[in-house]
Homo-oligomer: A and B are copies of this chain.
Amino acid sequence: MEGLSSRIAEINNSAAQTHTRQFEILAETLEKDGHNIEQLLDKISSFQVAIPSWALGTGGTRFGRFPGGGEPGSLEEKIQDVGTLHALNASSDAISLHIPWDIPKDTNAIKELAASYNLKFDAVNSNTFQDQPGQDHSYKFGSLCHSDPAVRMKAVEHNIEVIKYGKELGSKALTVWLADGSSFPGQMNFRKAFGNTLDSLERIYETLPEDWKVLVEYKPFEPYFYSMVIPDWGTSHLLANKLGEKAFCLVDLGHHLPNTNIEQIVATLMMEAKLGGFHFNDSKFADDDLTVGSMKPYQLFLIFNELVEGMEDEKSANPVPAWMIDASHNLKDPLEDLLQSVEAMKLAYAQALIIDRDSLEKYRESNDVSMAQEVLQNAYRTDVRPLLAEARRRSNAAINPLDTYRKLQIREQLIQTRGSKTIATGL
**Which of A's residues lie within 8 Å of B, judged by CB?**
22, 25, 29, 59-64, 66, 129-131, 138-141, 147, 179, 182-192, 194-195, 220-223, 225-227, 231-235, 237-238, 257-261, 263-264, 267-268, 270-272, 283-286, 288-291, 293-298, 302, 306, 309, 328, 330-333, 336-337, 340, 347, 360-361, 363-367, 369-370, 372-377, 380-383, 385, 402, 427
Contacts and interface: CB of A to CB of B under 8 A. Distances in A.
Given A141-B367, A298-B298, A222 B184 contact: no
A131 B66 contact: yes
Contacts of A365: 147
Contacts of A363: 186
Contact of A294 (B63, B185, B222, B297): B185
B66 A185 contact: no
B63 A427 contact: yes
Contacts of A263: 185, 190
A347 B272 contact: no
A115 to B, nearest CB: 30
Copies of the polypeptide in the assembly: 4
Contact of A221 (B59, B285, B298, B375): B285
Contacts of A380: 297
A310 to B, nearest CB: 8
A302 B186 CA distance: 8
A288 B227 CA distance: 12
Contact of A257 (B62, B257, B374, B376): B257
A234 B231 contact: no
Contact of A285 (B188, B194, B220, B331): B220
A258 B259 contact: yes
Given A184-B291, A225-B284, 11 more contacts: A59-B62, A61-B222, A63-B179, A63-B223, A66-B140, A185-B295, A186-B360, A221-B259, A225-B285, A226-B261, A234-B234
B258 A294 contact: no
A376 B179 CA distance: 24
A303 to B, nearest CB: 11
Contact of A286 (B185, B286, B347): B286
A270 B191 CA distance: 9
Nearest to A364: B189
A372 B331 contact: no
Given A62-B62, A129-B64, A370-B336, A375 B186 contact: yes
Contacts of A375: 186
Contacts of A366: 147
B62 A291 contact: no
A258 B261 contact: no
A297 B225 CA distance: 16
Contact of A268 (B139, B141, B194): B194
Nearest to A233: B234
Contacts of A140: 66, 331, 367
Nearest to A234: B234
Contacts of A237: 234, 238
B186 A376 contact: yes
Contacts of A63: 129-130, 179, 222-223, 427
A330 B232 contact: no
A131 B189 CA distance: 41
A363 B284 CA distance: 22
5 contacts: A66-B140, A184-B373, A221-B259, A222-B286, A340-B370
Contact of A185 (B226, B271, B289, B302): B302
B186 A372 contact: yes
A133 B363 CA distance: 27
Contacts of A337: 370
Given A298-B297, A332-B369, A427-B62, A147 B221 contact: no
A378 to B, nearest CB: 9
B294 A184 contact: yes
A353 to B, nearest CB: 16
Contacts of A191: 267-268, 270-271, 309
